[in-house]
Amino acid sequence: MSKKKRKPIEKKKKKKSLKPLIVTLCSVAAVIAAVIIAYVVWQNTSLEATDLVNRDWVSVEAFDKNNKKVDIFEVYNVDYFNYNGRLGLNGDGTFNFWMSPGDEDDGTHSGNYSYDREKQTLSMNFDSGDKATYKIIRKKDGTIERIEVPYNGYKVYFIENRY
């Protein structure tokens, strides 16, 4: 008898599932997205903080209640032209502020502040118990152009003093 050659039995190839690969890729994409979002939020928060604090803000111009520009010395009620008000915001949430000549360390012009990012305002809580709101005015590129401070019926504008 002749032996018939048997055809080899073909083994069925198992299809490899793509599911583990897809899950892995999605997980990696989610982690990358989370890192990018965290970085952007951190960057924006850092920029907000650093463009306000530990800088010397000085008054440069003022407007009366009719929005007419007035000499800055009128606001301060002083006879010399080179006086500037000063605003210092510290990273710990405290501030020093003075608008008229006198002892800058007398304690009457200090307190705590908070920054409202959405409204672009500073809420000032003076040690004396007084409260005020200062408006932050930004340029189109997002940098601070000036800070608007209401003072004795005037709007006084502060800019960063860049020596």
Spell out the residues 6+ positions from residue 79 whose beta carbon is closer than 8 angstroms to its own.
73
- 4 lies in some domain: no
Number of compact structural domains in the chain: 2
Q: What percentage of the chain has pLDDT greater than the value 70?
A: 72
- 11 lies in some domain: no
- 1 lies in some domain: no
Residues 65 and 138 in one domain: yes
Radius of gyration of the chain (CA): 32
Q: Are 59 and 53 in contact (CB under 8 A)?
A: no
- 9 lies in some domain: no
Residues 113 and 145 in one domain: yes
Burial 78-116 (b: 16+ CB within 10 A, else e): eeeeebebbbbbeeeeebebbbeeeeeeeeebbbebebe
Task: Report, as an integer, the average pLDDT of 19-25.
Answer: 81
- 87 lies in some domain: yes
Spatial separation of the C-alpha atoms in residues 160 and 33, rounded to whole Å:
36
Last residue of a domain, one of 10, 35, 50: 50
Is pLDDT at 46 greater than 60 in this prediction?
A: no
Residues 65 and 46 in one domain: no
Residues 29 and 100 in one domain: no
pLDDT in tens, 60-78: 899 999 999 998 878 877 6
**Mean pLDDT across the chain, nearest whole number?**
79
**41 versus 137: which is more confidently predicted?**
137
**81 versus 91: which is more confidently predicted?**
91
pLDDT level of residue 43 (50, 70, 90 thresholds): very low
Residues 66 and 141 in one domain: yes
Residues 70 and 107 in one domain: yes
In SS3 terms, 34-54 reads as HHHHHHHHHHHHHHHHHCCCC
Residues 72 and 128 in one domain: yes
- 60 lies in some domain: yes
Write the CA distances from 161 to 84, 110, 130, integer angstroms: 10, 19, 26
Q: What is the pLDDT of residue 75?
A: 80
Token pair recorded at residue 46: 């850092």
Q: Are 45 and 135 in contact (CB under 8 A)?
A: no
* Domain extent for 39: 19-50
Per-state percent for the chain, helix, strand, coil, to nearest 5: 25, 35, 45
